Structure 1
């Protein structure tokens, strides 16, 4: 029996995107929407063992019923599906960011329970284009503009080259009824306005092809970032001593793009979190523009000092 074209496109993307497809168990994160539902159907067709998790954030009336409907569809496809209810906190990133945090924690736990199985996420080319535009609008660097990675263990996004129209068509061809999340049309969310207002306007002004062009930009920058990150890791290993200090002469020989990647990785390894770009540049100044300046402060009551040609992270002294 001939496979319908959109279904075939999704399956092809999955085969190309999942390491060892057909021989390892996979875990599909499914909301019941068209993207993740089409992905789940493709996984059942081409993967050896398919598990699925429907995360119920509890943020909408009737969310439990929506989650159960998605679980039933997944079971009907042949996946071993469960619903995971999560508690969304009141953190600094707002409901959307906190929901994402809770969702990814639940998915990682489920992956660990399957021996680190790849977690398939239904992000599409359109999602990638929106991510790049968000990064541009926020003045983010190349690492952010590189967008989402296809493979970032345990996360796997095999549909980053597939359009939303294709996943919707795949569901129609397979006789699946996806859930329409009302949040996807709520203009209170920046991403929704990008989707329904900004991208259509850009398509009109630039005569089409904007979303694929943005996705290509992300792919090119991802390649560049991977090369620079690998180089930076080699430099960090050469510069970091057994006590966690960083040798400034070793790092100082590198161009800014490598130097700051070294510092990001080193600060993270030293337990620093949540710094902004200005703080990172202040730390970089201890290497590239050393004038005997005072120690830059970091979140969490930390500071970075330069002493005897080394950078050290320590608890900030009172009054600094």
Structure 2
């Protein structure tokens, strides 16, 4: 399909499909603040959402003076994954995106298959952005994806930051479709004559997100009525604003309560003890991450145990945290690091 062909017949007759119009407007809004000459890359799997994003970006970006390309990550997890990636690349080129690159990655096992694939994919996207001098990478997560993320956070008993879902802008990454339903991206693909690939993993119930999508959300819609997905996504937006404010307050507190020396992180008990738990635990969690624990392994239970060293001190010797990090109370400080003793 040639560049600009998507939806072209309807445009010439003055009847642009509403779904095409919506995805284009979402992308335009996401790119509107970028300087002329910026390069943006679309992360395209060849699936419905990312192809709709690729087509919308191919249309909207040039009108804003933004160069638009695409990156297709081949995880190598399915037969003929290379061919699937090349088909996606061909469609991106046909839309007029340039540069278009397929990057093959090796998926490890840390954190489980979903987390490992996500980590490999994001590493590849950042590497591609570095190679092409891109300032932005666009991801095709939809409102439905956001709702699923909130439910997954609820199921894990996560805090406000997790329940806040995915951010529309997170450094290099931007998600134009977080307020766009999945049904709209599907309609945009059909109206544009695109040929999306269906990932069989999206129907595999061994993945928790798939069970949430096909089993949990339909039950909620039936029990509570339509609009559950929209309500969950709206909740994420409200919680994100709250979480951002608390994170900033916690960062301000850390400026006076935390110091870093010789690979260790020292948190002053006196400066933390009288602070609200929402701030105190954020400071301690960040300290554990800086000491070497991974966010994917550090649980709310771990942070609560470290917090007890501040608020419920009964002579505990230490708290063991992921990746060999240990938290010890000593001399009026909670000290976090590796290879430590009580």
Q: TM-score, normalised by structure 1?
A: 0.94
| Bigger mean CA deviation after superposition, 237-246 or 186-195 | 237-246
Q: Does 1:31 align with 2:22?
A: no
User: 1:314–1:82: structure 2 CA closer, same or farther, 3 Å change rule?
Assistant: closer
Indicate which of 103, 112, 115 corresponds to 1:84.
103
Q: Residue 270 of structure 1 aligns with which residue? A: 291
CA distance in structure 2 between the aligned counterparts of 1:83 and 1:213, rounded to whole angstroms: 36
CA contact (8 A) 1:7 1:170 kept: yes
Equivalence for 1:14? 27
Q: Distance in 2 between matches of 1:272 and 1:103?
A: 21
Contact 1:297–1:316 (Cα < 8 Å) also in 2? no
* Aligned mates of 1:240, 1:194 — CA distance in 2: 39
Counterpart among 285, 294, 317 of residue 317 in structure 2: 294
Q: Distance in 1 between matches of 2:240 and 2:303?
A: 21
> How far did 1:236 drift?
0.4
- The offset of 1:275, in angstroms, is 2.9
Alignment pair present for 1:255 and 2:276? yes
TM-score of the two chains, using structure 2 as the length reference: 0.88
Asked if structure 1 preserves the Cα contact closer than 8 Å seen for 2:39 and 2:133, the reply is: no
Name the CA distance, whole Å, in 1 between partners of 2:128 and 2:312. 47
Equivalent runs, 1:234-253 vs 2, <5 Å: 234-241=252-259, 243=261, 244-253=265-274
C-alpha deviation, 1:271, in angstroms: 2.6
Answering whether residue 334 of structure 2 is matched by residue 311 of structure 1, we say yes
Distance in 2 of aligned mates of 1:18 and 1:264: 33
Which of 223-232 and 105-114 deviates more?
Answer: 105-114
RMSD of aligned residue pairs (Cα, Å): 1.7
1:22 Cα offset (Å):
6.8
- The verdict on how the C-alpha distance between 1:139 and 1:241 changes in structure 2, with shifts beyond 3 A counting, is closer
SS at match of 1:241: strand
For residues 197 and 203 of structure 2, the distance between their equivalents in structure 1, rounded to whole angstroms, comes to 13
For residues 202-241 of structure 1, the aligned pairs below 5 Å read 202-241=220-259
Task: Tell whether 2:18 aligns with 1:5.
Answer: yes
Change (3 A) 1:262 1:195: same
- Of 45, 68, 72, the match for 2:59: 45
Residues 41 and 134, structure 2, Cα contact 8 Å, conserved in 1: no
1:120 positional shift: 0.5
CA distance in 1 between partners of 2:202 and 2:192 (Å) = 23
**Counterpart position of 2:154:** 136
More deviation, 117-126/300-309: 300-309
Q: Retained in 1: the 8 A contact 2:49–2:140?
A: yes
How many residues of Structure 1 are paired with residues of Structure 2 in the alignment?
A: 318
Give the Å deviation of 1:140.
Answer: 1.4
- CA deviation map 1:105-153 (0-9, x unaligned): 1011111223352111100000111111111112111111111111001
Measured against aligned partners, the alpha-carbon deviations of 1:10-32 in whole angstroms (never above 9, x if no partner) come to 11112223362473210110001
Tell me: CA distance 1:191–1:315, structure 2 relative to 1, closer, same or farther (3 Å).
Answer: closer
Distance 1:284 1:115 in 2: 42
Q: How far apart in 2 are the matches of 1:175 and 1:210?
A: 30
In structure 2, relative to structure 1, the CA distance for the partners of 1:197 and 1:315 (3 Å cut) is: closer
User: What is the match of residue 184 of structure 2?
Assistant: 166
Contact 2:39 2:134 in 1 (8 A): no
Query: 2: distance between equivalents of 1:266 and 1:18?
Result: 34
| 1:94 alignment counterpart | 112
